[in-house]
Amino acid sequence: MLMAEAAARPAGRISEVFSSPARRQAAYDFVEHRGVNSDTVVDAIGDACARDCRPEGSVLVVLDGTSLRLPDLQRAKGFGQLGTYQYDARGLKVLNTLALTTEGIPVGVPAQRYWTRSERARRGYRSANERESMHWRDAVDDVSARFGRLAPRTALHFVADREADAWLLMRHVLEHQHDFTIRARGTRKVQVGRRRIALQPKLLQQPPVARLWLHLPARCGRSEREVRLELRAARVPLVMRDKHVHERYTRELTVVWARESGRPPYGEKRIEWLLYTTVLVRTARDACAVLQRYTYRWRIEEMHRTWKSGVCRAEEMQLRTVEAATKWASMLSAVATRVERLKQLSREQPEQPASSELSDIEIQALLLLKNEEKKKNETIPDGIPTIAQAIRWIADLGGYVAGKSSGPPGSTVIARGLERVTWSAKVIRALETKR
């Protein structure tokens, strides 16, 4: 019931979600009750994700670290330091995972790791289990165990950005017998006989296996544009070592180098991605598939934006303890994922029937609202709409303005429309119950 209310009217502050005093108090009692462990909430959300992934032969699991900046002016809530000491921000650190279909459609959040930083982290050497990187390995363990228990026939392929370029993490994934695609943080060396040589010069000797155009969305410090990439690939014995204990480990992996050809626009950096993957690359299509998997990593950034500051506004919560904040944040992450799933389905699989994602009563409510607010020259067809048509109607109800320069509906207008549809569906259900 609490999750349904949060999905109907997502917000960081519980007082904005629950209009009924009784339900509002029940929500506070739940998140602040010491008998309800936050791990139980995270596990319930993860188990639901794994069950939803059962029909899939393979899923992508994107790993990404982030933080929730939360208000704590009196420093009495137990939140930890974020960023530099001069920045003086407080909150929670999070290692998030997002399960995607192989077409890049969000399914759910299979695991989350929350922690707080101490005021003064110990400097100097720290063992592997004392560094924050351990949370990445723990998340891999959580996802692997959960899918092994609830979706054992679904293969896992982990995807991550440069933070995951750590030999302990890559070896951890390999020990679990999963695949990965990870962007390189630096250039590792290759073992050739008794010599170790630089990887990049070796790749330059390889002819491009594919050339393609890729659409880059706008990001912080980067404008939206189309880029032409050249892909080179090689299967190499990659040398990985831990500089703390000077341990060396060699593993044969595929390296795909995507590099922008030509001169980038003025003020833009050349796109250059070096990707490590366990998958063999024999053809141009294989190389393009590796690059495509890496671009799906952006989906977790979109989910984080929807979760933290967009639709769910998790960073506005006013809860008083780490445990309470973790429970509520976990619940909001599931809500954010559903909004992102609907958005991506409408773009990637537009012909899918709306009944695959929306209940019959939600479709009934949507048709009722849309017929009430349709334009003069607009005709609402009979029958079950497609997912693209349903999401467009939902976005219209949320205030979407389809101008010439407008892109497809985004998360905010979809969430606004869903709120209206959800409450209308509740009214319809209540009226049918009284008959």
> Is residue 117 domain-shared with residue 209, that is, in the same domain?
no
> Is residue 42 domain-shared with residue 145, that is, in the same domain?
yes
Residue 226 resides in a domain: yes
Find the DSSP H helices in 78-227. Answer: 134-150, 167-175, 199-204
Residue type, 252: E
Find the DSSP H helices in 193-321. Answer: 199-204, 284-295, 298-308
| Residue 365: per-residue pLDDT | 93
**Torsion angle (degrees, nearest 10) of CA 314, 315, 317, 322:** 100
Number of domains within the chain: 3
> Is residue 205 domain-shared with residue 182, that is, in the same domain?
yes
> Is residue 16 domain-shared with residue 133, that is, in the same domain?
yes
CA distances from 335 to 71, 304, 340, 383 (A): 22, 11, 9, 28
| Residue 406: per-residue pLDDT | 75
> Is residue 134 domain-shared with residue 207, that is, in the same domain?
no
> Is residue 308 domain-shared with residue 291, that is, in the same domain?
no
| Residue 245: per-residue pLDDT | 61
In DSSP notation, 377-426 reads T----SSPPBHHHHHHHHHHHTT----TT--S--HHHHHHHHHHHHHHHH
Residue 400 resides in a domain: yes
Residue 179 resides in a domain: yes
> Is residue 130 domain-shared with residue 1, that is, in the same domain?
yes
| Residue 415: per-residue pLDDT | 94
Domain that holds residue 206: 162-296
Q: Splitting the chain (435 residues) into consecutive groups of 10 residues, what average pLDDT does each group show?
A: 84 91 92 91 96 97 96 86 76 96 97 85 62 92 97 97 90 94 83 71 81 83 85 86 71 90 86 93 95 95 94 94 95 96 95 93 92 80 90 93 80 94 89 76
> Is residue 138 domain-shared with residue 225, that is, in the same domain?
no
> Is residue 114 domain-shared with residue 222, that is, in the same domain?
no
Residue 345 resides in a domain: no
Residue 402 resides in a domain: yes
Q: Residue 157 forms beta bridges with which residues?
A: 60, 179
> Is residue 3 domain-shared with residue 146, that is, in the same domain?
yes
Find the DSSP H helices in 151-212. Answer: 167-175, 199-204
> Is residue 262 domain-shared with residue 310, that is, in the same domain?
no
Q: How far is CA 390 from the centre of its chain?
A: 23
In this structure, what CATH number is given to the domain that contains residue 202? 3.90.350.10
Residue 343 resides in a domain: no
| Residue 121: per-residue pLDDT | 54
> Is residue 136 domain-shared with residue 255, that is, in the same domain?
no
Residue 24 resides in a domain: yes
In this structure, what CATH number is given to the domain that contains residue 397? 1.10.740.10
Residue 196 resides in a domain: yes
What gap in Å lies between CA 305 and CA 303, rounded to an integer? 5
Distant-in-sequence contacts of 35-44, Cβ < 8 A, 24+ apart:
36/327, 37/323, 38/114, 38/323, 38/326, 38/327, 38/330, 41/326, 41/327, 41/330, 41/331, 42/111, 42/112, 42/326, 42/330
